[in-house]
Amino acid sequence: MNSKIFKAISCSMIGAAVLPIVSCREKVEDKKMNILFIMCDDHSYQTISAYDNRFISTPNIDRIAADGVTFANSFVANSLSGPSRACMLTGKHSHTNGFTDNTRRFDSSQQTFPKLLRANGYETAVIGKWHLVSEPTGFDHWDILIGQGDYYNPQFISNGKRVQRKGYATNITTDIAIGWLDSIRNKEKPFCLLLHHKAPHRTWMPDTCDLELFAGKNFPLPETFRDNYEGRQAAAAQQMSISRDMDLVYDLKLADKENEIHSNATLEKWGRAMYANMDSAQKAAWDAHYDKVIADFKSRGLSGEALDEWKYNQYMRDYLRVITSIDRNVGRVLDYLQEKGLDKNTLVVYTSDQGFYMGEHGWFDKRFMYEESFRTPLLMRLPGGAKGRVDELVQNIDYAPTFLELAGVEVPQDIQGVSLLPLLKGKKEIKGRDALYYHFFEYPAEHMVKRHNGVRTDRYKLIHFYNDIDTWELYDLANDPSELNNLYGKPGTEELTKQMKEKLAELQRMYGEEAYIAD
């Protein structure tokens, strides 16, 4: 058994799907390019050291950046998990693919890039998080977490059969993926593997081997942590505040044995249920760490700003521990590709379904069109392709046409994204792309973020909050990157506002969403 590939074995039990790895290298001559599409859920660009080294080192994810392209201006079309996944699969905005919010069911009969690749000779698989309600279609093999999935001992649906696997979800998902690559797929065909992790989705439960990482470490508060949301009505109305909405038991793992710490009744029940799902060894490791955290918390008697800062730091520690596991497992897959010689013929993609707030504006979660959640990490390594930073505006509807063009498959005219392959081959820009369109639909719902759409250019952003509210926000990102100063309606911005509204209307017409054009 190769020590590099299985270096995560010392953590929680590896998944039952692991198969022996043999040493032969696969012949790659005359094959179309393989595609490995790694995606995590809620991974902020701030916590990838290729983007930002303030918080954590991610050496394995950074390997993709070092040998490929780092997209510095990568964004989503709808900052919510299910809708974002639908945008990626279809290459279309939410109103076109029909999955506008998480109350929907993805229409699995529609065109997706895996279906088109499969029809053109690719072996396709999706492993890990799906989160689209309907069963996957267009895949030769699928092995998906149920719903959001559990961090510990999760249940999967494997090609229609429900199975529970012991261990930690990130390790297990990686095990299954390596097993499929090594022993299940048809090696006479090029492959497209969607390796989609649950992590680091709320509630950021670390693997047992990572629990002591960052112990006692305090992180500097973001400059906007105590934002008062002046001039931003929708921002003031949200319910994703670390101070007010981050739950002590559910989010911060303070489920004490004495049952003295209580929180939101529903969230507390869920938090204790997640602990109950662990086996005895996992609980023992968990207790050895969190019992100390709980005792320290009780001894402090915190309130007010001191409590807010404690919650922020505890959130950051757990989140970064989860990222450590992701990075380790990305390394396992990259090592496998290299050992088999597949790195010479495989496009490797790393991204997240959207960005995430690491305390900026006092928040966690996503949803808003503000930079931290609108922006998403995107790293691509194309063998023989360009290296370095790309500043072009790109969006997650661009993935589907990129994969199709790479595979030599004609891109259907109804796909709304633009292929990034020219950028991967060293060209500097995408023809016709000077702005991005965004639309968030899910309200009223969890975190109570108002419905809004908007447009972003390389410098300016215009957002319209609508439905039970009618407010506009305008930002100069060059001079106000934290989006604290809403310029809308201020003297001297009339011409800029007119231009941005015209661009918004132009994009809405282009994407067929005229119903949302406002005066």
Per-residue pLDDT in tens (0 to 9) along the chain, 519 residues: 343 333 334 465 544 444 333 445 666 555 899 999 999 999 999 999 999 999 999 999 999 999 999 999 999 999 999 999 999 999 999 999 999 999 999 999 999 999 999 999 999 999 999 999 999 999 999 999 999 999 999 999 999 999 999 999 999 999 999 999 999 999 999 999 999 999 999 999 999 999 999 999 999 999 999 999 999 999 999 999 999 999 999 999 999 999 999 999 999 999 999 999 999 999 999 999 999 999 999 999 999 999 999 999 999 999 999 999 999 999 999 999 999 999 999 999 999 999 999 999 999 999 999 999 999 999 999 999 999 999 999 999 999 999 999 999 999 999 999 999 999 999 988 888 999 999 999 999 999 999 999 999 999 999 999 999 999 999 999 999 999 999 999 999 999 999 999 999 999 999 999 876 654
Q: What is the DSSP letter of 369?
A: S
- The four Cα atoms 300, 304, 306, 308 give a dihedral, to 10 degrees, of 110
CATH 3.30.1120.10 segments of the chain:
438-516
Integer CA distances (angstroms), 494 to 279, 368, 454, 500, 516, in order: 62, 24, 17, 10, 22
Confidence at residue 515, expressed as pLDDT on a 0 to 100 scale: 73
Segment 142-188, tens digit of pLDDT? 999 999 999 999 999 999 999 999 999 999 999 999 999 999 999 99
CATH 3.40.720.10 segments of the chain:
31-204+317-432
DSSP string, 475-491: EETTT-TT-----TT-T
Task: Give the whole-angstrom CA distance, residue 118 versus residue 96.
Answer: 23
Integer CA distances (angstroms), 384 to 347, 425, 515, in order: 10, 8, 44
| pTM (predicted TM-score) | 0.95
Closest CA to 85 of 69, 109, 108, 62: 108
Confidence at residue 16, expressed as pLDDT on a 0 to 100 scale: 42
Buried b or exposed e, range 82-97, using 16+ CB within 10 angstroms: bbbbbbbbbbbbbbbb
Q: What is the DSSP letter of 43?
A: -
Q: Are the CB atoms for 46 and 371 separated by under 8 Å? A: no
Phi, psi of 82 (to 5 degrees): -60, -50
Query: How far does the chain reach from its first CA to its final CA, in angstroms?
Result: 64
Segment 470-502, tens digit of pLDDT? 999 999 999 999 999 999 999 999 999 999 999
Task: Give the whole-angstrom CA distance, residue 454 versus residue 367.
Answer: 13
Instruction: Name the CA radius of gyration of the chain, rounded.
Output: 23
DSSP SS3 for 456 = strand
Say yes or no: domain 31-204+317-432 is CATH 3.40.720.10.
Answer: yes
> Token digits for 274?
């997640």
Task: Give the whole-angstrom CA distance, residue 497 versus residue 494.
Answer: 5
Angle at 277 (CA atoms; ends 158, 154), nearest 5 degrees = 20
DSSP SS3 for 145 = strand
Q: Are the CB atoms for 363 and 240 separated by under 8 Å? A: yes
Task: Give the whole-angstrom CA distance, residue 129 versus residue 196.
Answer: 5
Buried b or exposed e, range 172-190, using 16+ CB within 10 angstroms: bbbbbbbbbbbebbebebb
Closest CA to 346 of 36, 40, 93: 36
Task: Give the whole-angstrom CA distance, residue 62 versus residue 465.
Answer: 37
- In the CATH hierarchy, which fold is given to the domain comprising 438-516? Arylsulfatase, C-terminal domain (3.30.1120)
Q: Are the CB atoms for 102 and 82 separated by under 8 Å? A: yes
